[in-house]
Structure 1
């Protein structure tokens, strides 16, 4: 099965502030996401979905610099770019992730893909249950359902998971839990607020490039450890 990754980067799809092009470490937030996705084995590639507003032009520039395909659609037709992407790229299924999750777990993506294929599902949502760190949400859907149903989507809340868009029409779906049973509900591995961006900047400064290769559990523990310290990025790394 040919599986690719769609990174949703439309401004309306971001949960917190518009940090798509904000600097995090030595790269933009969006570039960090693209680089992590490229760590996946046996993936067909990744593509960026964005809008047609002037504020989306910077996203297109990142896509060009990274050599990533991009697809644009207007605000009132959020599913149009999805449909066109999977049609053009010829993928059998797509993994959908958010652009404001620079610490998305490659292991989680691989686990979700494996469960999706083994269970012969049409749609799988991983990370939707209480207790997961924010930003680890991953969904996989068969391309044929995107092609058939995406044109019917109008003014959908792009912050909601695909499960809420397609569940009524997709016969075989599942919500899967992470293997880790720790309650990480107080941890955000996505940028949900300006404070999250500041915290990630501090962590990147404190730990350097090694941070981007840690297992998600280690990163989550470090985020929790410093969460109450209210450190700013200009403080000395301790």
Structure 2
């Protein structure tokens, strides 16, 4: 079975433009996502899916400099970019990451791939009701599901956000949640605003000596020692998929 990590990335952002190229302890956020995903042992390839627009050329260049493959496609139809990656690299299983979630962990990616194979599910995530904080999100999905979504759905939501077709339509897809034993979803680690970025920068600065490998337990230890760092984005609300 061919397994690929596909990271969606673009320069545009309504709340924090250019965020994927902003530095975290000396390397871009996109580079940090890539190097942390590279700690996973199971995937056969790592691809960054970038819009085919001139403004996103620096994103594609940064992805290549980080050692990844690049596919380029529609700016608005993100699902189409994933399907391109599936076809180009003959992927059977896709690990979906986003370039504004810089705290993904290779060991979580590996564990989720193993769970999909072991339990024979079509879609596994730790995005909602999992006990994992935003910013550590991973989705693992069989390629057939994404290809069916691309062909069958004309909803903008499905094409922009990639996976909703698998979990909020009447279908026979087998879905599951990858749960954390001790929930810590009271921390916001995604980077969507300047305040989020300030927290991410602080964490990477504090843990920069092992930027590719520190995990959520290390972040929790940092919060216990330096709780004031985590107050910066405590009031930030997450956008809904409809926004």
TM-score by length of 1: 0.83
Partner Cα separation in structure 2 for residue 95 and residue 45 of structure 1: 10
Q: Which residue of 2 aligns with 1:155?
A: 156
- Provide closer, same or farther for how the CA distance between residues 153 and 33 of structure 1 changes in structure 2, counting only shifts above 3 A: farther
What secondary structure is seen at the aligned counterpart in 1 of 2:21?
coil
Render the CA deviation track for 1:126-153: whole Å, top value 9, x for unaligned.
2311642111221111112222322445
The answer on 1:88 being equivalent to 2:84 is: no
- Residue 48 (structure 1) shift: 0.7
The answer on 1:107 being equivalent to 2:128 is: no
Q: Are the counterparts in 1 of residues 92 and 143 from structure 2 also a CA contact under 8 Å?
A: yes
What secondary structure is seen at the aligned counterpart in 2 of 1:212?
coil
- Residue 160 (structure 1) shift: 4.5
- Residue 188 (structure 1) shift: 2.2
- Residue 124 (structure 1) shift: 1.4
Render the CA deviation track for 1:32-55: whole Å, top value 9, x for unaligned.
111111111132011011212333
Q: Are the counterparts in 2 of residues 133 and 220 from structure 1 also a CA contact under 8 Å?
A: no
> How many residues get paired?
229
Q: Which residue of 2 aligns with 1:226?
A: 226
Q: Which residue of 1 aligns with 2:177?
A: 176
- Residue 61 (structure 1) shift: 0.4
Write the mapping of 1:121-200 to structure 2, written as runs, cut at 5 A. Answer: 121-129=121-129, 131-151=131-151, 152-153=153-154, 155-156=156-157, 160=161, 162=163, 164-167=164-167, 168=169, 170-182=171-183, 184-200=184-200
RMSD: 2.7
Partner Cα separation in structure 1 for residue 104 and residue 122 of structure 2: 22
The answer on 1:205 being equivalent to 2:205 is: yes
Q: Are the counterparts in 2 of residues 76 and 154 from structure 1 also a CA contact under 8 Å?
A: no
Q: Which residue of 1 aligns with 2:240?
A: none
TM-score by length of 2: 0.82
Q: Are the counterparts in 2 of residues 9 and 98 from structure 1 also a CA contact under 8 Å?
A: yes
Query: Which stretch of the first structure deviates more once superposed, 45-54 or 164-173?
Result: 164-173
What secondary structure is seen at the aligned counterpart in 2 of 1:10?
coil
Write the mapping of 1:44-83 to structure 2, written as runs, cut at 5 A. Answer: 44-83=44-83
Query: Which stretch of the first structure deviates more once superposed, 169-178 or 65-74?
Result: 169-178
- Residue 93 (structure 1) shift: 0.7
What secondary structure is seen at the aligned counterpart in 2 of 1:20?
helix
- Residue 159 (structure 1) shift: 7.2
- Provide closer, same or farther for how the CA distance between residues 148 and 31 of structure 1 changes in structure 2, counting only shifts above 3 A: same
What secondary structure is seen at the aligned counterpart in 2 of 1:6?
strand
Partner Cα separation in structure 1 for residue 31 and residue 108 of structure 2: 19
Partner Cα separation in structure 2 for residue 200 and residue 9 of structure 1: 17
- Provide closer, same or farther for how the CA distance between residues 139 and 224 of structure 1 changes in structure 2, counting only shifts above 3 A: farther
Q: Are the counterparts in 2 of residues 116 and 140 from structure 1 also a CA contact under 8 Å?
A: yes
Partner Cα separation in structure 1 for residue 177 and residue 120 of structure 2: 14
Partner Cα separation in structure 2 for residue 20 and residue 185 of structure 1: 23
